[in-house]
Structure 1
């Protein structure tokens, strides 16, 4: 038997081919492994996203305590951990849902409000007086009225022009307005109960631009004197608090922030989306556009004197467009003065709540809760009378979320960053 010599070059060639084949096989195995890891990673991340959505669905149907992290299991995966945290943010709630599946994490924060598909156009407290409609007043939607009902009236020769009194169903109201769930918190917020170890201070001056994420501590600016907001851009998790007053100029851009002061004045043509909490007066000048979800809130426990020089009030002037909540709440008011005025050619899309006298000259596309209406004309005062006011609940978007009243469900009004 003859042995044939193999050249060294051929052996080298075979060795190189073998190494290349081994590298290719190894790379192929590594690629498959990497693809499986990526697929598993994406699967975990997708599951975390789904769990966050399940968390917000859970919030809408279940009562979750404030400021207490609550863990929920939304899948059979033992690697899942989903935490729900509910807190207040003005008249709304703020909910953060965080889900972790193994090493994958997803978090989302939403501004939560009360949602009620079967809401009334008007709830008028029973004060033993009928509701009187005059002029071009039109109320569209179901209503809750005093036992004495509703009738057409006449002011200075102007009668009620409608074909029918109420364009909807009627039911009886009670001697009290429906309660707002978080009214005590609003009171505490005005009294600086937001101050804790989790807030941080910042300097506010003309020209400042600040964006504070809701995943960060609340940024707070406090001033004992009046604050004039001019040429500033403030967005996010920010509270501005003055012991005297706050004036908002049209050169300012505010989004999601909260303003707290005894008196807040919003000057002409301001555009923004923010919440105002006051104890004495809110003035909104002509041409302002407050985007959803904004809120104008006046809350006071102070009982008025018999003849005070000036009463607590919210005054919204002409040609304004406000989307959100307008709330006036006070222990005692005057029988012959209006505590909340919505001027003509002004539209509120959302909810108006007034436990004193409401003068409605404009339009509300949504719901009105009022203790009494009042109208002033040619020096005379007409009690429980609406003159040229419009209420139409059918023009309120179904997705609207606002005040937490009664059995309303909790849904997302806006996603926060």
Structure 2
């Protein structure tokens, strides 16, 4: 009996096809498992890179970092991980850039930085041997630092104080010096000595829409003449500098940019989020809404108003003037090197104006509106019925309880340590 039989060629081909199909399926299965493993590893690396950058911004709350230098941070003991942090000045705020590389995975986060305090006082009034006088519907809510003469009620043109209490909070004695803004000198340098080689130039024209990432090189536009911003949309790391004047129209949309000029005017109905840094004057017209974290800053070397005996002309007052129905979320700063006293208000906050943040003046403030946050000042000034009233507040409100807990602002007596806003 013959146990060997002939197998037809077609059957062999069928077996061969089945074997190839099985091999392909096995190969595809192995490839799928390998790809899944690679994707899982890649995903884990990406998660680690993201986690590292977030951890950096938690780390900076407790550690100081030098400016304009890449600092390496060991978030985890992993030889395949490289995490760095860089801090640089951006007006009154700082920019923090955290970068993490895990193997070939890269992630970066950028933020505007300021200072966050657990305990904020409503008012610091420099001790000039003059008491604080409250008139009308004035209300101060929060802890205060006041001159040794304290606080009392007053009367202006027949209007007395209407409150039940003078200060809705604890009182302590202030000193003859205002708290220091830590980065004030760097702000002066930033605004007065802009180095063109640190920025690439761009052309500014009506209708321009431009975004520049803070992770890249900053862009600069300079002009000796006045600059009128209208029908433009500018966001990101952009500097606009005029040696004369900058006017912001309501048709312009500005986000996170910085304006620098001797005089800056923000026209009625403007909305945005930016920093305006002037050497003489900032004028904010009615119905303006500046979102957080905005900044209006005047830094002037000599604000003493000199009346010429020959011409009988008075120089224009250097000031920040904010008109009615305006909201500013951020900081107002007026800083003067002049030590002479005067009876003008260098920061003027009109009726129906709301400031959410901080107001700082090395000279005088006229407060007729509301500050939901903190005020630091040399004096208050009110001009009513032909009279000048020193250290009087008339119908103004300072209320620290209405400042959001997450608010991050001026570097008062310490450096930046908290995220004010995430940017790109």
Same-fold call, TM > 0.5? Answer: yes
Partner of 1:104: 105
Q: Distance in 2 between matches of 1:94 and 1:360?
A: 31
The correspondence for 1:326, drawn from 316, 332, 340, is: 332
Alignment match, 2:84:
83
Q: Which of the numbers 369, 377, 383 marks the counterpart of 1:376?
A: 383
Report the CA distance between 1:154 and its aligned residue: 1.0
2:314 maps to 1:313: no
| Worse-superposed segment, 391-400 or 210-219 | 210-219
Deviations 1:122-175 (A, max 9, x none): 011111111110110000011111111111111111111110000001111110
Normalising by structure 2, report the TM-score: 0.96
Question: Hey, what does 1:256 align to over in structure 2?
Answer: 256
CA distance in structure 2 between the partners assigned to 1:137 and 1:408 by the alignment = 33
CA deviations over 1:292-326 (Å, ceiling 9, x no partner): 11100000112525434222111101110110000
Give the corresponding residue for 2:345: 338
2:310 paired residue number: none
SS at match of 1:22: helix
8 Å contact kept, 1:115–1:408: no
Whether 2:148 is the aligned partner of 1:141: answer no
1:354 aligns with 2:327: no
Shift of 1:97: 0.3
Is 1:157 paired with 2:158?
yes
Aligned residues: 416
Structure 1 equivalent of residue 129 of structure 2: 128
2:285 aligns to what? 285
Contact 2:407/2:420, CA 8 A, preserved across alignment: yes
SS at match of 2:60: helix
**Structure 1 Cα separation of the partners of residues 276 and 315 of structure 2:** 24
Partner of 1:178: 179
Note if contact 1:116-1:409 (Cα within 8 Å) is conserved in structure 2: no
Distance in 1 between the 2:146 and 2:415 partners?
20
Deviation at 1:109, TM superposition (A): 0.4
Matched-pair contact (CA < 8 Å) for 1:116–1:408? no
Q: Cα 1:68–1:196, aligned 2, differ >3 Å: closer, same or farther? A: farther
Q: Which moved more, 1:116-125 or 1:184-193?
A: 184-193
Q: CA deviation at 1:287?
A: 0.8
Matches within 5 A, 1:35-74: 35-74=36-75
RMSD: 1.2
Give 1:407 deviation, angstroms.
4.3
Q: What is the 5 A alignment of 1:216-235?
A: 216-235=216-235
How far residue 58 of structure 1 moved from its aligned partner, in angstroms, is 1.0
Distance 2:415 2:133 in 1: 29
1:34-69 alpha-carbon deviations (Å, 9 max, x no partner): 100000000000000000001111112210000000
Q: Which sections of structure 2, spanning at least 5 residues, go unmatched? A: 308-313
Match of 1:406 in 2: 413
Q: Distance in 2 between matches of 1:70 and 1:148?
A: 49
CA contact under 8 A between 1:362 and 1:390: conserved in structure 2?
yes
Quick one: which of 356, 364, 370 aligns to 1:363?
Answer: 370
Identify which range, 142-151 or 307-316, moves more after superposition: 307-316
Q: Aligned equivalents of 2:111 and 2:263: distance in 1?
A: 29
Alignment match, 2:245: 245
State the Cα distance separating 1:200 from its structure 2 match.
0.8
Q: Distance in 1 between matches of 2:44 and 2:315?
A: 67
The separation in 1 between residues aligned to 2:206 and 2:359, in whole angstroms, is 33
Give secondary structure in 1 for the equivalent of 2:363.
strand
Q: 1:219, 1:237 within 8 Å by CA — same for their partners in 2?
A: yes
Moved beyond 6 Å, runs of 4+ = none
Question: Does structure 2 retain, via aligned residues, the 8 Å contact 1:199–1:220?
Answer: yes
Q: Secondary structure at the match of 1:144?
A: strand
